[in-house]
């Protein structure tokens, strides 16, 4: 089978959950004997189209139509002949049997016309909230608070205006609201036309059903994680060693890194916090973290995959202090894959991997005091984490997930 995955951005330019998933799943499908390719948009001056095979033999088709600001990326969704034409060339060159839409942010909905004209079945994975929330994360631009979803798109209009940071944008409010209504209508049509709509967690399924997506069209298919290298070293903390905690992921305010850095300042005893992630994405926030951090905090920077596994095996617990709903969370599952307990915010899908007081702790998001108390417990009672380790359940790996995905593909092509 020839399968073309569409993703809004890709490695090495961008590294996040959707990008990593696309990277892993295309390789796993390739290992199962399928012919797999990726179509993605790059930020690059001018316009163009190119294809090259990566180290695993997956063809990556790249298209670009300028370096886009967040506002321009929103507008491209409505109209971009250059990107539509690049996608048309991709379909003609690769000749897919099926399309898997991973994400369409920053890509024009006009590419759906190409898919429909070719008579190709397609499936969609709802990796985040973008199909309902243009921000994709349910956080408002005007207050930073969590949003419950559109209210006649008036609150969404307010978000667009706040992001522009120009008071004059209010003059265009009626046009903005109209564009948001049109966007919602187009995205609903795409979901309605899909052979299958996949969610990575039960939480995401329930959220989308609550926001009007037909439950009968949704299937929960949790992604697998990359299998850790063997042998898998397991940290055995010695009595004279400090407790070692790890934050691994995006260095962004919505991930709540500042919450655990602030909480650590109040923890008594021997404890270290390692922070792994790209500090260059948001320099102002990274500078804020450095200023807040004590000598107990070590910034590791961005890790490669080997570094991720090595680091996970060298710590006593992983912290996931997210302030916005997580749709799946690779970090939590990768920690479980090496037997490392997780302390996580009680938000989104995190409770599907962390069971409070069983294999980890679930804590109120944004509550510095609660995180300080939890971290202090880890320092004072090392046997608590040992007990959590014994209760960590096995996780699925990419190859298992790819087998389930392939079965879904074949079913929908036969239909």
- Interval 81-102: pLDDT, tens: 999 999 999 999 999 999 999 9
Q: Which residues contact 284 (CB under 8 A, 6 or more apart)?
A: none
Question: Tokens standing for 241?
Answer: 């060693």
Q: Are residues 172 and 139 in the same domain?
A: yes
Is residue 369 in some structural domain? yes
For residues 9 and 106, what is the distance between their CA atoms, to the nearest angstrom?
8
Whether omega before 19 lies within 30 degrees of 0, making that bond cis, reads no
Both structure tokens of 41 = 């948009």
Q: What is the pLDDT of residue 287?
A: 97
- pLDDT tens track for 339-380: 999 999 999 999 999 999 999 999 999 999 999 999 999 999
The CA-atom distances, in angstroms, between 45 and each of 19, 49, 64, 269 are: 22, 12, 8, 52
d(CA 254, CA 141): 12
Q: Is 273 helix (H, G, I), strand (E, B) or coil?
A: strand
CA-nearest of 235, 225, 397 to 328 is: 225
> Residue 276 in contact with residue 306, Cβ under 8 Å?
no
- pLDDT exceeds 90 at position 71: no
Res 137: pLDDT: 86
Helix axes 368-380, 257-264, angle to 10 degrees: 60
**217 is a domain residue:** yes
Residues 333 and 409 in one domain: no
Name the pairing type of β-strands 271-276 and 297-301.
parallel
Instruction: Please indicate, yes or no, if residue 234 is contained in any of the structural domains.
Output: no
Peptide bond into 262 cis (omega under 30): no
Is the model's pLDDT at 271 over the cut of 90?
yes
236 in a structural domain: no
At residue 164, what are phi and psi to the nearest 5 degrees?
-70, -25
Q: What is the pLDDT of residue 34?
A: 93
Residues 275 and 375 in one domain: yes
Q: Is the pLDDT of residue 414 over 70?
A: no
Same domain, 214 and 347: no
- Cα gap 253→162, rounded to integer Å: 17
Which residue blocks in 111-150 are alpha helix, DSSP H?
Answer: 111-117
Nearest of 404, 399, 414, 274 to residue 335 by alpha carbon: 274
Residues 211 and 253 in one domain: no
Q: What is the pLDDT of residue 11?
A: 87
Is residue 298 domain-shared with residue 370, that is, in the same domain? Answer: yes
Q: Residue 73 class from Cβ within 10 Å (0-12 exposed, 13-18 middle, 19+ buried)? A: middle
Closest to 60 (Cα-Cα) out of 105, 17, 16, 13? 13
Helices (DSSP H) in 211-282: which residue ranges?
257-264
Cβ atoms of 309 and 227 closer than 8 Å: no
Q: Indicate if 407 and 302 belong to the same structural domain.
A: no
Report the C-alpha gap between 409 and 404 in whole angstroms. Answer: 9
For residue 217, which of 197, 200, 187 has the smallest C-alpha distance? 197
- What's the whole-model pTM score? 0.90
Same domain, 34 and 125: yes
Output phi, psi for 74, to 5 deg. -65, -45
Helices (H), 167-304: 173-193, 202-210, 257-264, 283-292
Same domain, 218 and 283: no
Q: Sorting pLDDT into bands at 50, 70 and 90, what band is 55?
A: confident
Provide the domain count of the chain: 2
How far is Cα 173 from Cα 123, in angstroms, rounded to an integer?
A: 34
Domain co-membership, 68 together with 207: yes
Extract the tokens encoding 245: 């905690």
403 and 323, same structural domain? Answer: no
**Domain around 376:** 243-390
Q: Is residue 375 part of a domain?
A: yes
Euclidean distance between the first and the last CA atom of the chain, given in angstroms as a whole number: 15
pLDDT tens column, 153-202: 888 888 888 877 776 677 778 888 999 999 999 999 999 999 999 999 99
């Amino acid at each position: 089978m020839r399968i073309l995955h569409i993703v809004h951005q890709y490695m090495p330019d961008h590294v996040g959950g959707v990008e990593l998933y696309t990277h892993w799943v295309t390789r796993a499908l390739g290992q199962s004997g399928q012919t797999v390719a990726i179509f993605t948009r790059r930020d690059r001056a001018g316009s163009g189209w190119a294809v090259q095979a990566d180290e695993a033999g997956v063809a990556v088709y790249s298209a670009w139509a300028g370096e886009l600001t967040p506002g321009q990326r929103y507008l491209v969704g409505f109209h971009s002949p250059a990107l539509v034409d690049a996608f048309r060339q991709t379909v003609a060159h690769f000749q897919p049997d099926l399309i898997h839409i991973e994400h369409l942010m920053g890509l024009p909905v006009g590419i759906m016309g190409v898919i429909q004209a070719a008579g190709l079945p397609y499936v969609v994975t709802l990796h985040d909230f973008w199909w309902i929330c243009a921000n994709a994360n349910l956080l408002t631009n005007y207050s930073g608070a969590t949003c419950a979803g559109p209210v006649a798109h008036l609150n969404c209009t307010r978000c667009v205006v706040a992001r522009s940071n120009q008071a004059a944008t209010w003059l265009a409010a009626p046009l903005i609201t109209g564009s948001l209504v049109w966007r919602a209508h187009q995205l609903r049509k795409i979901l309605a036309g899909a052979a299958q709509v996949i969610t990575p967690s039960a939480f995401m399924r329930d959220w989308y059903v609550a926001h009007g997506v037909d439950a009968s069209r949704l299937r929960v298919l949790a992604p697998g994680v990359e299998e850790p290298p063997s042998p898998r070293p397991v940290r055995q903390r010695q009595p004279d060693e400090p407790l070692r905690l790890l934050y691994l992921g995006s260095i962004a305010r919505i991930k709540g890194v500042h919450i655990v850095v602030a909480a650590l300042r109040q923890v008594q005893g021997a404890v270290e916090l390692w922070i792994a992630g790209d500090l260059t994405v948001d320099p102002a926030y990274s500078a804020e973290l450095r200023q807040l951090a004590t000598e107990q905090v070590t910034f590791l920077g961005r890790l490669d995959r080997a570094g991720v596994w090595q680091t996970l095996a060298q710590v006593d617990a992983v912290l996931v202090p997210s302030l916005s709903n997580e749709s799946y969370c690779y970090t939590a599952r990768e920690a479980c894959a090496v037997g490392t307990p997780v302390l996580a915010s009680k938000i989104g899908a995190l409770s599907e991997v962390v069971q409070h007081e069983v294999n980890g702790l679930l804590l109120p998001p944004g509550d510095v005091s609660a995180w300080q108390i939890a971290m202090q417990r880890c320092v004072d009672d090392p046997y608590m984490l040992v007990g959590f380790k014994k209760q960590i359940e096995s996780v699925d790996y990419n190859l298992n997930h790819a087998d389930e995905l392939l079965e879904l593909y074949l079913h929908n092509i036969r239909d």
